[in-house]
Structure 1
């Protein structure tokens, strides 16, 4: 290396050593901060509703002293951003059901939206302030140099702002079903609803539009079904209600359950401006079928060979809806023949009951024992259409053995061997209806006979006892004992039918001859013999 060049290098190094150090350590700074603001576009709310307040958080960062781009962006970025609403500072019946929410980082020019769930009570129409707090962290100053570490001055900052919301002065509606909201599948009826204005302003010229949401559920009659209908309400002031009824029905295949009915209200406000309410909903209940009960069964003369056996019972409507012009009928059965198988009841509201009665004939070939008797129930629906219960009501009934209408309760006669006497037979009528033209006939066997075997009894009431009088004779060889005989009664029933009893067994007693003993012998020897014979007889007995 040439000597002059080496000398130059050394000189330059010495000059560098004496330059002041403050020139190399001179700092550069970037100064700025985020600028967070809050706002909301959803400020219209209604009293007595659940709502969501959407809050927009916007960062428009500020730069006071610039420098390197990355440091400029950093001082304008908000970190660990959290937002909350101070419920205690709200001067209104409003509850905030959402707590503090975290947004993370929010760079310059960025915006994020968070929702807060509000429960608004019966707040009066007007404007209310919702206090919002936003807390975040950021470096206010970033200092840096060529040969030094970068220095940041961090700080935490809270921004308090308010959002104004307005509780509207307007009508609000609720649509509720009353207790009469049940229809039967395959049927129609009047269903009751009530529209209530829960808002703060009168609604005029209101039209309630309703629509069913389930196939098979409809408005109108079975012959004119519709899925939509409407009701007009001329005026409904705040706090008032309007009750109305609709004809509704369900097809026979609709399963039992509660189904939705959607609705909405079109109205004019106090300024004459047309408005539409929020969507409303209510319901209608479908029952699979009406329920009836047949109870308190009572049987009269329900026995073999009975032409007028009676069945009495009580029919009850167990709901869920009224039934009009109810008729109960005996169904087909081979055990009996129906004489009067229909009983008209009339209208039955839910819980009502009424008596029913029927008459059947039980043939003489019927077997005593239990039978199952079907009863069908017919009624009219709200449209006047005749409906029949799909499944008959079955009841077990007991057929009693055959029983005559008369029974012998007493026999009295003084007939003796070889003699004749009057025979009194007491007969009791065991039936439940009076009979007329009753005649009794006596049937005897040897050694008894009768020269007068018929007796006219006339009209006999239920439970009445009458006496049939005959003339009876006993042969001379008859013994003092009872002999089997029988009595048969012929009579006319109330409907004019002539009937006969079976053979009513009667034991006719034959008494000892009056005076008894042996026949008289000639006086003298006969008296001695008699005396002797009497001694013998005495000793024998």
Structure 2
């Protein structure tokens, strides 16, 4: 039995080999690899597109089964992998599946590579490993398929050419969040060839930190030799909503190569962060303001950075009625980042103002590096305002007047304010039974808490009874700013006394009354009939 089976197999093989079987086809695919765009540059990251073609061959075709030839000439489940061997290239892609490649067909496989920065120019062979399945024999009459797998190696050539290549080696900006300024990028030609008639186009990828007015700015950088640096400075602006974190900037260099052809290098990418928003702080706010008086408010203003500010002016505005800055600006000049200065504002508080805490709103204007004027956010601060006080203290010294006579009264007047006054005119006002024979007094100046004595001539009518009578007075003076000011009205008690034995004579009055009574009685007696 075993011998018979072997005989049948041998007979079948002979029939097949002699072509006696009908509907039989035999063949195999033949894959080739080519690289149409094979030029790369030292230090370049590139993508190589390998073309895979199939030039299949037929070993035997039965005349009645020509339509089945594609079965044995198609490479199926083709997988390709690129190797670097000794070339100065690193292949970053793994195995690539391209599917089936029929006879005469073309498929592509793409591979990411990195050329070493110091790669020597020249031509290098890269092996392409090909793995695929195919049908080597097909019997259509019996529907018998015989398949094989094959692994083979093809080669492609890569040419490493001299070419310029660019990196950003330094970046700077003076742009703060919410402001404009410049971005400076320094690029170096780290390639192996010159870039002639070069231009650098700088582009930002976010509108929050934008370049120029259109998002891109180009500058001419001329002929650029390997190892040389070029610095490009472009205008930029950062929105108020931007973060002080790196934003992507792309620098693309367009140039002419040694053959006069225009080329564009791979863009150099760098992160540039806008500086934090320019800010100022107000601290140590001090004042001695009072209702109805002028005073001063001092504050310490600090440039919180991040950069120096020029032409700094501090402004103040009041938020309450009756509190008015007499001068609302204080010029500082230049203020370095972290530096501070003390500002002083004269404030007028009217008599209509209310005592208690009040808010003052400070702000700072300055010029940015572009010479544009900018204004800080409002910097509110709270200041206390004390209640109204008398400008002068009036203390009676000698204020006694005898009824029916006159006397000099003496008053001690003290400057109750925190500033000196000058040309102080005092005037008194009287009502009956008091009268003023000399109603004014004058002193040239009074420092704070300084006192002086003022004398007036006051009389009292004879009908005045013994008691205190009010004497009114006010002051007209010049304050420390030279302004004429009228004080409130003061009341001073004047003591009127009646002399001993004085007053109306009682006996004469009684005698007159008795005479009047007798006269009236006699009249009625004589005229009673």
Is TM (by shorter chain) over 0.5?
yes
Pair 1:282–1:404, CA change in 2 (3 A)? farther
Residue 246 of structure 1 corresponds to 234
Q: Structure 1 residue aligned with 2:287, among 296, 300, 303?
A: 300
- Encode CA deviations 1:183-205: one digit per residue, 9 max, x unaligned: 746xx533323333232223344
5 Å-filtered alignment, 1:301-450, equals: 301-306=288-293, 308-318=294-304, 323-331=309-317, 334-348=321-335, 351-382=338-369, 384-385=371-372, 387=373, 389=375, 392-404=378-390, 431=418, 433-436=419-422
In structure 2, the residue matched to 1:159 is: 152
8 Å Cα contact 1:257-1:286 kept in structure 2? no
Matched residue of 1:169: which SS?
coil
Q: Is the 8 A contact 1:171 1:203 kept in 2?
A: yes
Structure 2 partner of 1:168: 161
Distance 1:411 1:22 in 2: 154
Q: Does 1:101 align with 2:101?
A: no
Deviation at 1:42, TM superposition (A): 3.0
| Matching residue within 33, 40, 57 for 1:45 | 40
**Are residues 423 and 181 of structure 1, via their aligned partners in 2, closer, same or farther at CA, if it must alter by over 3 Å?**
closer
Corresponding residue for residue 64 of structure 1: 59
- Check whether the contact 2:78–2:101 (CA below 8 A) recurs between aligned residues: yes
Displacement of 1:426: 10
Q: Sort the Cα spacing of 1:302 and 1:235 in 2 relative to 1 into closer, same or farther, 3 A.
A: farther
Write the distance in 1 (CA, Å) between the matches of 2:427 and 2:218: 82
Find the partner of 2:27 among 32, 57, 64: 32
1:178 is aligned to 2:172: yes
- In structure 2, relative to structure 1, the CA distance for the partners of 1:155 and 1:47 (3 Å cut) is same
**Could you tell me how far apart the structure 1 residues matched to 2:91 and 2:339 are?**
50
Q: Distance in 2 between matches of 1:22 and 1:492?
A: 140
Q: Distance in 2 between matches of 1:353 and 1:23?
A: 106
* Gap runs ≥5 in structure 1: 1-20, 416-421, 444-451, 472-477, 479-483, 508-541
User: Deviation at 1:309?
Assistant: 1.6
d(CA) in 2 for partners of 1:27 and 1:226? 76
Instruction: Tell me if structure 1 keeps the 8 A contact 2:318–2:359.
Output: no
Can you give the 5+ residue segments of structure 2 that lack an aligned partner in the other structure? 1-9, 20-24, 401-408, 430-437, 457-465, 494-529
**Counterpart in the other structure of 2:432:** none
Give distance in 2, aligned partners of 1:163 and 1:325.
67
| CA shift for structure 1 position 335 | 2.3
- Does the 8 Å contact 1:290/1:321 carry over to 2? no
Number of matched residues?
467
Does the C-alpha gap of structure 1 residues 276 and 400 become closer, same or farther in structure 2, counting only changes over 3 Å?
A: farther
Aligned to 2:127: 131
Find the counterpart in structure 1 of residue 462 from structure 2: none
Distance 1:382 1:179 in 2: 11
Residue 482 of structure 2: which of 483, 496, 511 is its match? 496
Mapped to 2, the partners of 1:23 and 1:134 lie a distance apart of 34
Give a deviation string over 1:138-187, Cα, whole Å, max 9, x none.
Answer: 34456x698xx6776643321123333233321123457523244746xx
CA shift, 1:76, in A, is 2.9
Scaled by the length of structure 2, the TM-score of the pair is: 0.65
Partner of 1:75: 72
Give the Cα–Cα distance (whole angstroms) in 1 for the partners of residues 13 and 273 of structure 2.
91
Paired residues of 1:440 and 1:468 also in contact (CA < 8 A): no
Q: Does the C-alpha gap of structure 1 residues 360 and 210 become closer, same or farther in structure 2, counting only changes over 3 Å?
A: same
Q: Deviations over 1:360-386 (max 9, x none)?
A: 21112222133333445444455545x
Q: Call closer, same or farther: CA 1:423–1:357 in 2, change over 3 Å.
A: same
Whether the aligned pair in 2 keeps the contact of 1:205 and 1:232 (CA below 8 Å) is yes
**Cα displacement string for residues 330-357 of structure 1 (whole angstroms, at most 9, x for unaligned residues):** 3475322332111112244555544332
